[in-house]
Amino acid sequence: MPMARRVTAPLAVGGLLAALAACSGDSGGKADASPEPRTERIRTVVQLSELCSEIGDGHPGAARYSGDGPHRTAVFRSGYRTDKDVMTGTVLQERVSFEGLPDLSKTTPVSEIELLACGKGERGEERERDCEYAESGRLDPQEAYPMYSQTFTYTVYELRTGRVVDTITRTPQPQCPSKIGYRKGGSGAPDKVYAQISDREASQVLKQVVEGPAR
């Protein structure tokens, strides 16, 4: 029976369908249009998750990375919630904040972004504490799971060129996943959960590179 608190892992955002080749309407025949560069399909911050998988030569429409800072940065994270996860999708960390910069939204234009920070989690072996979860509508904890460490590595790219500006690794303060999902009594029930990195801690991790001068 599905538990009321069951949730699905965040899906990777920004996966857009390739544009169909255009065909001419002339009676003289059909001509295939050139494939649309994928960066032309990426116009807002939320779509930048696609570049965390493969940044290539960056996004030519991004803002120029220069000057003393701060530099407007889009921050994404992927990682694990439980030992049954393959990996959660790449999600935008919307609540990161930096001195002197306005908050981002999913619809912020790519043309305003200088840096792209992509965080990836690696499961650890150190047991931190237990995390308790209750079914929806109940206040008393129903089940507890041991929480283990998880290390996050953020690769910071100059978005306009794809150049790596910095790589920063952090094992965050123990924070339980807010939700986990599985079918009660099924084979997918987890044996352990993994520590998460908060948007606040991600802001601290990236503060120096975002607020400092261009490198």
Q: In this predicted model, what pLDDT tens digit does every residue of 108-144 receive, in sequence order? A: 999 999 999 999 999 999 999 999 887 655 555 578 8
Does 66 reside within a domain?
A: yes
Task: Determine the pLDDT at residue 183.
Answer: 55
Does 163 reside within a domain?
A: yes
Does 4 reside within a domain?
A: no
Does 115 reside within a domain?
A: yes
pTM, two decimal places: 0.78
Does 140 reside within a domain?
A: no
Tell me if 131 sits within 8 A of 196, measured CB to CB.
Answer: no
* Whole-number CA gyration radius for the chain: 21
Task: Determine the pLDDT at residue 68.
Answer: 96
Which residue stretches of the chain have pLDDT < 70?
A: 1-36, 135-141, 182-188
Tell me if 92 sits within 8 A of 42, measured CB to CB.
Answer: no
Range of the domain at 92: 38-125+150-174+200-208
Tell me if 81 sits within 8 A of 180, measured CB to CB.
Answer: yes
In the three-class reduction of DSSP (H, G, I as helix; E, B as strand; rest coil), residue 134 is classed as coil
Among the residues of the chain, which ranges form H helices? 38-41, 49-53, 199-211
Q: At CA 78, angle to CA 73 and CA 82, rounded to 5?
A: 150
Specify the number of domains making up the chain.
1
184 Cβ partners below 8 Å, 6+ apart? 1, 2, 3
Tell me if 180 sits within 8 A of 190, measured CB to CB.
Answer: yes
Does 102 reside within a domain?
A: yes
Does 168 reside within a domain?
A: yes
Does 47 reside within a domain?
A: yes
